[in-house]
Amino acid sequence: MKRFLTILLGLSLLFNFNLRADEGMWLLSMMGKNYEEMKKMGFKLTPEDIYSVNNGSIKDAIVGLGNEGSPFRHFCTGEIVSDQGLFFTNHHCGFGMIQSHSTVEHDYLADGFWAMSKDQELSNPGITASVLVKMEDVTDKVLAEITADMSEDDRAAKIKEISKGIVAEATKENLYDAYVTDMFDNNQFFLFVYVIYKDVRLVGAPPSSMGKFGGDTDNWEWPRHTADFSMFRIYTAPDGKPAAFSEDNIPLKPKHFLPVSNKGVKNDDFAMILGFPGTTNRYLTSYGLEETMNITNKLRFEIRDVKIKILREEMKSSQKVRIQYATKYARCSNYWKYSEQQNKALKQLNTIAVKKDIEKQYEKWANNNKTEIYKETLGLIETAYKTRQPYAVARMYLIEGLISGTELPYFAYQCSGLISALDSKDEDKIQKNIQIIKVAGDEFYKDYNPDTEKKVIAALFEYTYNNLDKQYHPDVFQLIEKKYKGDFGKFVDKAFDKSIFATKESFNEFMNNPKSKTLQNDMMMNAGTSILKKYREVNALFWSSSDGLDKGRRLFTRGLMYMNDGKLMYPDANSTIRLTYGKVGKYDPRDAVAYDYYTTLKGVIEKEDPNSTEFAVPKKLKDLYYAKDFGPYANEKGELSVCFITDNDITGGNSGSPVINAEGHLIGLAFDGNSEAMSGDIDFEENLQRCINLDVRYALFIIDKYAGAKNLIEEMDIRN
C-alpha cells in the first residue's frame, strides 16, 4: 500500500492498523499524485512519459488482449517492443493461439514456433489488441440525473442510458471504441477510449517444455524457472487503421514502443508494471469473504479436481489428445490450484478477522454519522449473503460440474435454436441457423475426443448427483435414476450411441439434412436443455435473494471514501489499465526459509526429471547450458538469469504485463504470483506478496541462441 495514499492507510490511521507498503493498482490519469513517491524510489521519468493524450507515451506501448466479441474484457496484457508492432506476452496467454495452429505434423506446442520472416507469421481470427487512447472521469455526467429515492434497477438503467450517450459522443467521427465503467462499487465512473486492432499474428514461442516449465507443480510458486513468453505482431490496413486480416495489411507503426534492457536487475531496483488486471475485491466484507472461501473456492477446487485427474490420464494416452485438450486443461487447472492456495493464504492471514474488525470500526463511524443510510449497509449485505447461500452452492455445482465442466451437453443445447427454425419452415432462417451451427461445430470438434468426453461427463454427472441437494437436480438426473438405475456410465454410453452430437461425423451428417424431431429426441440435447433449465431457475433465485447487496456494497464503499476524504484511493481492478510500482526484492516466507530475488538456468537443469512432462529440458537448451553459451545475456557473475521477483501489486489479466525499470525500459514480463500471498486479490500482504517475472534477458537468449531468430533480435531496440 502506498504510504499515506490509500484507503486502507486511512483506515490504519483511524483504526490503528499497520501500514503496508507497495499496494495499489493506480489509474494512469491520476499518476501525478503518486509521482513524488515514485521519484524517491528511483523513478527517472515524468507522469507525462507514462500517460499523455497528445504525445506518445508508455501507455501507447501497452496492449490489452481480448476476443472480438468482448474486446474490453482483457484476458492478458502485452507490450510493444519495436516500431513494427512486435509485442511480447506470456506463453500461457498465447497458449490457445499456439495450440490452434498445432497439429500432429506441426506440433508447435511441443516444438515451439518461430517466424523467420513476416510472411511466416500466423493469423489468429477473433483475437484483438487494444491500445488506450485516453481515459476520463465522467462521474458528474453519469450521476447528474441520479436521485436518492431511485431503486437500484432504475439507477442502473439510467446510468446505462447516460453512459451510452457518453460513448456515442466519444466515438463520433473516429475509429475508436469506448465504454464507461464504474469504480468503487458504482460510486465513480470513467470513460475509456481505445483503438482496437483485429489482425494479430503469432511470431514466436518456445516449446511448452520451456514456456510451461514446472507445470501445475510450480504454478503459483517461487522459485520459478519458466520461459513464460510468446511473441505476436499487430497489423493494420495500409493507411494505419484497424482492419481484419488481409494479405495487404502492414505492421503497426506504434506511437511508442519499449526499449528492451539487457542490463538486468538488482535487489531494491525500482520496478513498475502497466497492464490490465482483471478483478480484485479489496473492499469485500467478511460476509462476502465467507462465500468466496466456503463456496466459490472450495467447490471450484473440489469439482475441477475430478476433471483434472481424468484429463491428465487422457492426455498421456496420445499426442492428438494432448494437443486437443492442452488449452482446456490449462484453463481448468490454473484456477483449480488458485482456489486452493487462496483459501490457504486467507486462513493463514486470518483475513476474516481483519474484515470483521474493519466492519466494527465502520459501524462505529456510521452510528456517529448524521446520514442514516450508512447504518443499514452491513445489515443489507449480511442478509443478502445469508439468503442466497443455498443457491450459491447450487450454482457452483451446476456451472462447474455440468455446464463448463462437461462440454458436449452445453454445445448440444446451444444448437437447440435450430428446432424453432426448422419448425418455422422459413428456408432463409433455417439456412442461416445451419451455417452458424456448422461454423460452431467445426470449432468445437477440432478439440474434441469422444472417449475423453464420455469419461468426463460420466464422472462429473455422478459427482454432482452425489453432492448437490436433490431439489436442485436437473431432470436428466431423474431419468438416469429411473431408466438407468443410477448408472451414469450406462447413460453416457447410450447417449453417445444415439446422439447426433457424439461424433463430428454424425454431427456433420445430420447437419446436411437436419430434422426437428431428431433434435427434440436427442439424448445429449435433452440433457443440456434440462441442465440449463435448472441453472436458470437457480440463477433467478440466487439474484432475487441478493436483493440489497448492490446497494449495501455501494454505500459501504462510499462510506469508506467519506471516512478517508482527501486521501488518494485506488479502485478495485476491473480489467481497465492500471499501473503498480515497487521494487525488486527477496523475501522470507516461513521460518528458516529465505528466497533470493532471482533464479538462473542452473535451476532448470537441477529440476530436470526425465520421467515428468512438467520438468523436461530440451537437449539444445542443455547443450547451451553446459557450454556456457549464453551470448551477451549473462549477468555479471556469468549466470543466465531466468526469473526475478518484485513486490508489485498484480492479479489475473496482468499476465504478460511489462516490468519496466526507472528509465522506461523493459526488464521482464509478469506472469504469476506466489502461493504464500494468494490472498492478494482480497487482502494484500506486503511482507509476502511477490510478483513473479520472466527476466527479459532469458527471452532474448532463447530467441537468439536457442531459436536462432536473429530477425527478431535485430528488430528490437536492445539497451546494453
Collapse the DSSP code of 225 into the 3-class scheme (helix H, G, I; strand E, B; otherwise coil) and give the result.
Answer: coil
Cα–Cα distance between 644 and 635 in angstroms, integer?
13
Q: What is the pLDDT of residue 100?
A: 95
Cα–Cα distance, 9 to 23 (Å, whole number): 10
pLDDT tops 80 at residue 20: no
Has residue 1 got a pLDDT over 60?
A: no
Alpha helix (H) ranges present in 221-350?
286-291, 298-317, 319-348
Task: Tell me which long-range contacts 447-450 makes (C-beta under 8 A, separation of at least 24).
Answer: 447/99, 447/324, 447/325, 447/327, 447/328, 448/324, 448/407, 448/408, 448/504, 449/314, 449/320, 449/321, 449/324, 449/325, 450/496, 450/502, 450/503
Instruction: Give residue 22's pLDDT band: very low, low, confident or very high (50, 70, 90).
Output: low
Burial of 325-355, coded b for 16+ CB within 10 Å and e otherwise, reads bbbbbbebbbebbbbbbbbebbeebebbebb
Residue 15 is predicted with a pLDDT of 34
Report the mean per-residue pLDDT for the chain: 94
92 among known catalytic residues: yes
- Torsion angle of the four alpha carbons 515, 516, 520, 522, in this order, in degrees rounded to the nearest 10: 20
520 contact partners, CB below 8 Å, separation of at least 6: 419
Q: Given a cut of 50, is residue 408 above it in pLDDT?
A: yes
**pLDDT at 565 exceeding the cut of 90:** no
Query: Does residue 16 register a pLDDT over 50?
Result: no
Q: Is 439 exposed, middle or buried (0-12, 13-18, 19+ CB in 10 A)?
A: exposed
C-alpha cell at 65: 488482449
How confident is the model at residue 202, as a pLDDT? 98
Rg (the chain; Cα; Å): 26
228 catalytic residue (yes or no): yes
Residues 572, 575, 580, CA angle at the centre, nearest 5°?
60
Rounded to whole angstroms, how far apart are CA atoms 617 and 620? Answer: 9
Sign of the C-alpha dihedral computed for residues 668, 674, 678 and 682 taken in this order: negative
Whole-number pLDDT of residue 672:
95
Q: pLDDT tens across 317-330, in order?
A: 999 999 999 999 98
State the cell numbers at 351: 483475513
Which residue has cell 434497477? 153
Reply yes or no on whether the pLDDT at 256 is more than 90.
yes
Beta bridge partners of 580: 273
Whole-number percent of the chain with pLDDT over 70: 97
Side chain identity, residue 688: L
Total residue length of the chain: 720
Tens of pLDDT, residue by residue over 201-221, are 999 999 999 999 999 899 999
The single residue of 102, 575, 655, 675 carrying the catalytic annotation is 655
Name the active-site residue from 185, 228, 522, 572: 228
User: How do residues 110-137 score in pLDDT, each as one tens digit?
Assistant: 999 999 999 999 999 999 999 999 999 9
Q: Which residues contact 30 (CB under 8 A, 6 or more apart)?
A: 568
- pLDDT given for residue 19 in this prediction: 31
Taking alpha carbons only, the member of 58, 65, 77, 45 closest to residue 258 is 58
Q: pLDDT digits over 232-251, tens only?
A: 999 999 999 999 999 999 99
pLDDT of 18 > 70? The answer is no
Beta strand pairing status for 641-646 and 598-600? Answer: antiparallel
Nearest Cα to Cα of residue 461 among 503, 419, 398: 398
Q: Give the pLDDT score at 369.
A: 82
Selection from 563, 149, 147 nearest residue 366 by Cα = 563
Contact 706, 623 (CB under 8 A): no
Strands 260-261 and 86-89: unpaired
Gap between the Cα atoms of 281 and 196, Å rounded: 28
Distance CA 435, CA 681 (A): 42
Q: For this structure, is 655 an active site residue? A: yes
Among 74, 92, 256, 473, the active-site one is 92
Q: Which residue has the cell 431428431?
A: 518
Residues near 338 by beta carbon (within 8 Å), at least 6 away in sequence: 220, 678
DSSP state of 584: B
Query: How far is the C-alpha of 692 from the C-alpha of 694, rounded, in Å?
Result: 7
Helix axes 549-563, 351-367, angle to 10 degrees: 80
Tell me what pLDDT residue 526 has: 97
pLDDT for residue 152 is more than 50: yes
Q: Is the peptide bond before 223 cis (omega within 30 degrees of 0)?
A: yes
Is 670 in a helix, a strand, or coil? Answer: strand
